[in-house]
Amino acid sequence: MISVIIPTLNEEKILGRCLRSIEAQNYHDYEVVIVDGGSSDKTLDIFECYKHKILTLPRRRPHDVGLARNFGARYAEGEILAFIDADTVLPSGCLSVLDKCFQSLEVVGVMCKVLPLEGNSIEKALYECNNVLMKTSNKIHILQLSYFSCISYRREPFIKMGGFREDLSACEDYDLALRLSKHGKMVFTDKITIYMSPRRLREWTCLGYIVRYFKYLFQYHMFGRIYDYHNAIR
């Protein structure tokens, strides 16, 4: 079984499209685990149309996504944990491809190609550059993960390694991949393309996003933590 884990916090405007894309999968051995951090809009009302597992955290700040993901993993039942954001749209064959990737027992994590949902030419180019970076670095075994969230892990090593570091407001997926890569293969597949909203990219502007991208990587490698908590990329 694949557990699709989605952290939410006031996502009423975009959540429906995400859930409909999951319902349209041609792979049916899955569950959806929603982890809501105290939404004050109509996010929880949307869930009433779907038979999904809904968990609530007493309080969650926007940058506490690692905490929410770990909480969802704790109650998930699948052997594969697929973490996505609420602004993500999955192609119909997404879960089938992930299942095939994990048929090899040496695979502990899977990354996939990501493009902006209804993005402009500049946004598409930036996402494509990141896809090339992921694919190339994965081939030469210099792990570089995207900050775009649609990453899957095998449950046993994920739990064994303690999941995401909850003290990181950014780079938590990168950090986990580095730790997991010591116990198996992290693979990149371009057989599926995940689409996600470029809203964060537009909020920061392309240049601002790139600057913060490398800023957080620098902080992570130099100090092992992120200092700019309120402005982390999300």
Asked whether the beta carbons of 54 and 161 are under 8 A apart, the reply is no
In percent, the amount of the chain with pLDDT more than 90 equals 41
DSSP string spanning 121-165? HHHHHHHHHHHHHHHHHHHTT-----SSSEEEEEHHHHHHTTSS-
In a domain, 26, yes or no: yes
Residue 211 placed within a domain: no
Res 227 pLDDT > 90: no
Lowest model confidence (mean pLDDT) among 7-11, 22-26, 49-53, 99-103: 49-53
Residue 230 DSSP symbol: G
Closest CA to 116 of 63, 39, 194: 194
**Residue 58 CB coordination number (10 Å):** 6
Domain that holds residue 68: 2-199
Cα separation, 172 vs 164, whole angstroms:
6
pLDDT score of 143 more than 80: no
Please name every residue paired with 224 in a beta bridge, in sequence order, or none if there are none: none
Q: Tell me the C-alpha distance between 10 and 33, whole Å.
A: 16
- What pLDDT digit, counting tens, does each position of 155-165 carry? 999 999 999 99
Torsion of CA 177, 180, 182, 184, to 10 degrees: -110
Residue 148 confidence class, pLDDT cut points 50, 70, 90 = low
On whether residue 192 sits in a domain, the answer given is yes
Q: Would 161 be classed as within a structural domain?
A: yes
Instruction: Indicate whether 105 belongs to any domain.
Output: yes
Q: What is the pLDDT of residues 155-198, one digit of tens each?
A: 999 999 999 998 888 888 888 988 988 889 989 998 999 999 88
Q: Write the CA distances from 110 to 71, 146, 187, 222, integer angstroms.
A: 20, 12, 5, 26
Q: What CATH number has the domain bearing residue 86? A: 3.90.550.10
pLDDT digits (tens, 9 = 90+) for 102-139: 999 999 999 999 999 988 898 899 888 888 888 887 77
143 lies in a domain?
yes
What pLDDT was estimated at residue 109?
A: 93
46 in Cβ contact with 16 (< 8 Å): yes
Q: Region 31-58: what's the mean pLDDT?
A: 85
**What pLDDT shows up at residue 144?**
56
Letter string b/e over residues 177-210, b meaning 16 or more CB atoms within 10 A of that residue's CB: beebeebbbbbbbeebebbbbbebbeebeeeebe
The total number of structural domains that make up the chain: 1
Question: 144 lies in a domain?
Answer: yes
Asked, for residue 75, whether it belongs to a domain, the answer is yes
